[in-house]
Structure 1
Amino acid sequence: MRIIGRRLVAGAIAAAAAVAVGGIATSAYAATGCRVTYTVTSQWPGGFGANVAVTNLGDPISGWRLTWSFAAGQQVTQLWNGSVSQAGTQVTVVNAAWNGNLATGAGTAIGFNGSWNNASNPAPTDFALNGTPCTGSVTPSGSPSAPQSPTPSWTPSPTPTPSGTPSPPTSPTPSTPPGGTEPTIVPDPSWTCNMPTGIVSPTRGRLVLRVTGQLGAVREVGTTPYGQRRLLDVTGGSFVGDRLSGSVLTGGLDLELTLTNGSLEVEQINVLRASDGTLIYLRSCGVAPAGDAPVRIVPDFEAPNSSPYAWLNTGTFVGTRVVDTTTNTLVLTIYDVAGVSPTEPRIQLTDPAGLPHQSWNCATGSGTRGASVFTASVTLGSTLAVGASKRGTRTIIPITGGTLSGRVTGSILAGGADYQLSGSTTTLDARYTLATSDGELILVRNCGQFGRLVPTFETRAAGPYAFLNANTWLSSDPGFAPGGVSITFYERR
């Protein structure tokens, strides 16, 4: 399930509420018992976040099911560390693959985002683990007890009741969730996201930024040499955090790859405009085990060194990426995890054997130009200048469309850009998508210094343009064309 939460609003941070609820277990064959702590970590108009910590007080169990009901119509919209279903007010959460075994005295925790009616958000009072009400007491093995009515003993979270329609502030203070219990995810060595020893649980850090992107088209490229490729266009949005807020510019790209073993690898590029007009380049790398959601991401920021946001250049960040195609939104929730070390449990991701790995870096190659393959006439938007940052001076030239001629005909889709980086030399890094006249999609990345551009293409492995998937091409430098530039791609000898 990939569903999103909502934007935080300042002043709507609820205090923790410890909840011990339930009745007494009745099994004559095993000691049963459990304890639950329910914590509202944040709340905003229409939405809230919560953690549920459960401790097994009885005999060891292998595989668990936690249930509860909401009293005021709340709905779970996103959950991690388990699988969730909801029928009316009744919520059922089943363990994830890695946290199903609970020894006596052991615990686990889940977190979720939910929706509420802005009038009342009471804590649940009827938690049960594998059918046993969670009272904080134990029914001993061999001594069955008659069922008793639950006797709740809990203190609800103090939750703000909005009066009128609140207005989101410019710079709210997000909540800091308690120490996360999600596993450390260790990426495959081919796609480390610059955290080869493991991407820690984001909620072990401090929440600093929530980015809500509006999606345009969601396009299925098909099965490429790397796996199943999906392309999501970001057409705008907003972000809000404890030290900055602003808008998401149109033209962002989210490249999602589902490997044949079900795990995910994600690359995403967005441009943020802070409320004072400062531009920030954001490139994120992400991974997720098969069947897991949300995607664990490692965001990388480039902000102007002279701006109030230069602290983004040196921070250590981890977050989550959640896509909701029903509302066409994409949410990045980003935490500062400086000083947080990987811990157990760990999930090691391994790419399928025998398949090529997608590359994070630009392709390189040498040779001479052979026959031309096709020419792209690219239309461009106004240049955006991030300015001098940690890697050099970043300049972004949005791609707004264009046409193709030669062995490949069709159009260039709006979205993406040339993300140029200047220092002692200038390196071009253009990302965009081709739509052929016969309905195929081709992802393009054209990188390198002037005179040494090496393009790579990714398209359907069984499609008519599969020959482009081979890394055997060269590119001309961009030349002037009406509304933008013209680029010709060549065979490499």
Structure 2
Amino acid sequence: MKSKWIFTTIFVLFILSNSLSFSFAAELGDLNSDNNVNSIDFGLYRRCLLGLCPFEDPSVADLDGDGSANSIDFGIFRKFLLGIITEFPATTPKPTPTPQSGDEDKILIPHKSWTCGMADGIPKPESGVLAFEINMKLDQIYNMGKTQYGQRQVFVIQGGTITGSKISGSVMSGGLDFQLDLSNGAMEIEQILVFKTNDGNYVYFRSAGTAANQNDVRIVPNIEAPNNGSYSWINSGKFACRRIVDTAAKTIKISVYDISGVTVRADSTNSIAVTKPTDVQYQSWDFRKAFDERKGTLFITEDVALAGSQTVGATKNNISRNIIPITGGTVTGSLNGKIIAAGADYQNTSNPMTIDARYLWQTNDGEIIIVRNAGQFGSLVPTFEVRADSKYSYLNSKLYLSSDPGMGSGGGVKISFYESTK
């Protein structure tokens, strides 16, 4: 009798979902990333709870915001689909506190969707010891406007210097800094940079940052340096950074502090938490992975121009990093434009090899589109970010698949993107 009741409930939910499709900007409950929350996600949730598949993004399945996805969330999901509740408990965050004097000395707790690698809290960077400084000149500043994630700016790095007692060198051109401004005053940052030390080694620098208010931006870098040699100390270090942008002068300065000796024990008196508005989708640190999808209609073809490899080699966490800068190219098909000389394919050449290409398109009518094409060979998945009121805004929600790179013109690569079908 119990199994019959469960079957009947799921059947009713299925019928309801055929007539109703619940769009949900923050992606909670959207387990298959199709920008709708419905019985398909409900059925996938059940399979994951039974151990038949993993949660691709556990934060999307955490409907009550308690930090875990479990049967309680599954019950909440059922109520949502039946119309008993109209939003998930986790979609009603506490407002970001108004900055108060002394907040800059408190521990900053990142939002759960953008943990920055320090979910328990980021201490004031200056409480550590200065390790090195990065001074960069900007090539381009792109004010994209409001995307699915918030107000987006992209800074393209022209070049720069890195100076410190144990490391010095240059910042390679083409680095990317993605700044996301939220309507409640909070901010989220991602940077992807490459350094070349004065003795010829390459260092990969990818960081996540956040701020409860824009006067106190804190960055947590994930730095990969060669395991063998004088920079191996970077791989085992713990760092926090201060980032200062001067758009008038077109400069960015990053001060990197060693905080390995700083104790972080956050409580209600010594910390401040970053919150996010409910009308934005959460951005992801990791790339999308496709399950049970196949290539449909051809969407576009890229002809990508590349520079020579910047090889970091064996680094931490069994990673072997190779970076191939993107120097231009063309996009033809359902939209037409050029590939901006910025970003790179940040390859992990360990087994299994994965690529993670991060770069920008500019359409023939001037729209800037952030592109990420990543995954293992044979299963590459492109995703996009573009202005929400653009004629290309469909890119923010539709799913796509990519071919493997093939031989392109002038030593570059040719890649085709396809609409994804089930």
* Aligned counterpart, 2:51: none
- 4+ residue runs over 3 A deviation: 96-100
1:203 corresponds, among 99, 123, 126, to 126
SS of 1:321's equivalent? strand
Correspondence 1:360 to 2:285: yes
* Aligned counterpart, 2:415: 487
1:183 corresponds, among 97, 100, 106, to 106
* Aligned counterpart, 2:168: 245
* Aligned counterpart, 1:388: 314
**Structure 2 CA distance for aligned equivalents of residues 276 and 295 of structure 1:** 32
Correspondence 1:351 to 2:276: yes
Deviation of 1:97 after TM superposition, in Å, equals 4.7
* Aligned counterpart, 1:457: 384
**Structure 2 CA distance for aligned equivalents of residues 353 and 327 of structure 1:** 34
SS of 1:339's equivalent? coil
Correspondence 1:423 to 2:345: no
Correspondence 1:437 to 2:360: no
Note the 1:278-297 alignment, pairs <5 A.
278-290=201-213, 292-297=214-219
Deviation of 1:490 after TM superposition, in Å, equals 0.5
* Number of aligned residues: 319
**Structure 2 CA distance for aligned equivalents of residues 226 and 405 of structure 1:** 26
SS of 1:468's equivalent? helix
**Structure 2 CA distance for aligned equivalents of residues 334 and 424 of structure 1:** 31
Deviation of 1:354 after TM superposition, in Å, equals 4.0
Q: Is the Cα contact below 8 Å between 1:220 and 1:231 reproduced in 2?
A: yes
SS of 1:203's equivalent? helix
Deviation of 1:458 after TM superposition, in Å, equals 0.4
**Structure 2 CA distance for aligned equivalents of residues 362 and 404 of structure 1:** 21
Deviation of 1:259 after TM superposition, in Å, equals 1.5
1:212 corresponds, among 135, 144, 165, to 135
Deviation of 1:99 after TM superposition, in Å, equals 3.9
1:389-409 superposed Cα distances (whole Å, 9 cap, x missing partner): 013110000000001110110
**Structure 2 CA distance for aligned equivalents of residues 387 and 329 of structure 1:** 30
**Structure 2 CA distance for aligned equivalents of residues 374 and 97 of structure 1:** 46
Deviation of 1:471 after TM superposition, in Å, equals 4.7
* TM-score normalized by the length of structure 1: 0.63
* Aligned counterpart, 2:328: 401
Deviation of 1:350 after TM superposition, in Å, equals 1.0
**Structure 2 CA distance for aligned equivalents of residues 423 and 454 of structure 1:** 19
Deviation of 1:341 after TM superposition, in Å, equals 2.2
Q: Is the Cα contact below 8 Å between 1:245 and 1:274 reproduced in 2?
A: yes
* Aligned counterpart, 1:52: none
2:393 corresponds, among 466, 482, 489, to 466
Note the 1:77-96 alignment, pairs <5 A.
none
* Aligned counterpart, 1:153: none
Q: Is the Cα contact below 8 Å between 1:294 and 1:322 reproduced in 2?
A: no
* Aligned counterpart, 1:165: none
Deviation of 1:427 after TM superposition, in Å, equals 0.3
Letter in 1 for 2:362: A
SS of 1:243's equivalent? coil
**Structure 1 CA distance for aligned equivalents of residues 181 and 98 of structure 2:** 19
* Aligned counterpart, 1:277: 200
1:226 corresponds, among 149, 157, 162, to 149
Deviation of 1:98 after TM superposition, in Å, equals 4.3
Letter in 2 for 1:432: Y
1:123-165 superposed Cα distances (whole Å, 9 cap, x missing partner): xxxxxxxxxxxxxxxxxxxxxxxxxxxxxxxxxxxxxxxxxxx
Letter in 1 for 2:371: V
1:204-244 superposed Cα distances (whole Å, 9 cap, x missing partner): 11000100011111001121011011000011000111211
Note the 1:4-83 alignment, pairs <5 A.
none
Deviation of 1:353 after TM superposition, in Å, equals 1.5
SS of 1:395's equivalent? strand
Q: 1:197 to 1:416 in 2, by over 3 A?
A: same
Letter in 2 for 1:427: T
**Structure 2 CA distance for aligned equivalents of residues 460 and 203 of structure 1:** 36
**Structure 2 CA distance for aligned equivalents of residues 374 and 443 of structure 1:** 15
* Structure with greater proportional strand content: 1
* TM-score normalized by the length of structure 2: 0.74
**Structure 1 CA distance for aligned equivalents of residues 158 and 166 of structure 2:** 24
1:306 corresponds, among 214, 222, 228, to 228
Q: 1:354 to 1:223 in 2, by over 3 A?
A: closer
* Aligned counterpart, 1:319: 241
Q: 1:360 to 1:471 in 2, by over 3 A?
A: farther
Letter in 2 for 1:451: G
Letter in 1 for 2:363: T
Letter in 2 for 1:411: K
- The RMSD of aligned alpha carbons is 1.5
SS of 1:235's equivalent? strand
Q: Is the Cα contact below 8 Å between 2:212 and 2:275 reproduced in 1?
A: no
SS of 2:131's equivalent? strand
Correspondence 1:477 to 2:390: no
Q: Is the Cα contact below 8 Å between 2:309 and 2:324 reproduced in 1?
A: yes
Letter in 1 for 2:122: I
* Structure with greater proportional helix content: 2
1:332 corresponds, among 254, 258, 266, to 254
User: Any stretches of 5+ residues in structure 1 without a counterpart?
Assistant: 1-95, 101-107, 110-180
SS of 1:280's equivalent? strand
Letter in 1 for 2:245: V
1:159-201 superposed Cα distances (whole Å, 9 cap, x missing partner): xxxxxxxxxxxxxxxxxxxxxx621110100001011111001
1:89-130 superposed Cα distances (whole Å, 9 cap, x missing partner): xxxxxxx95444xxxxxxx69xxxxxxxxxxxxxxxxxxxxx
Deviation of 1:262 after TM superposition, in Å, equals 2.0
* Aligned counterpart, 1:264: 187
**Structure 1 CA distance for aligned equivalents of residues 122 and 263 of structure 2:** 9
**Structure 2 CA distance for aligned equivalents of residues 262 and 377 of structure 1:** 39
